[in-house]
Amino acid sequence: MEVEPIVRAAGGLVTRAAGETVEVLLVHRPAYDDWSLPKGKAGPGESDEECALREVEEETGLRCWLGERLPEVRYRDASGRPKIVSYFAMRPLEGSFEPHDEIDNTRWLPLEAALEALTYAHDRELVRGLASGQGA
């Protein structure tokens, strides 16, 4: 029996305070026309933490502080391969977004608006965890 290779990825639930509100950073991927949390595939020998920080910076232009590990997400990617994404709570330190081929737009949204805007249920679950006080 052949074992399917697992795609390993990592990303961030990037938040910031906006007055009394917490805002979540979402990214738009034109190739999929979706709104999601910033993430990407890990390179060989790259730790989940290194991957998450690198991918968030590559996708959003933001260098972030790395917080606690959040629940991992498992699903099948667009090619049908099993994928495990390790997420971390993050806060922006510096940088700014410039559109590029992979990500053409970002949005900072309050929790409820982020829940409505996110395309995927697994992303909404992470944000719901934040809303209920579990993480980030």
Per-residue pLDDT tens for 6-52? 999 999 999 999 999 999 999 999 999 999 999 999 999 999 999 99
pLDDT one-digit tens code per residue, 48-59: 999 999 999 999
Going along the chain from its start, the domains and CATH numbers come out as 7-131 (3.90.79.10)
Cβ(17)–Cβ(92) under 8 Å? no
Residue 130: which of 24, 17, 20 has the closest Cα? 24
The pLDDT of residue 102? 97
The DSSP output letter for 71 is P
- Of 56, 46, 48, nearest to 93 by C-alpha is 56
∠ CA 77-31-122, nearest 5°, is: 40
Q: What pLDDT is stored for residue 64 in this prediction?
A: 98
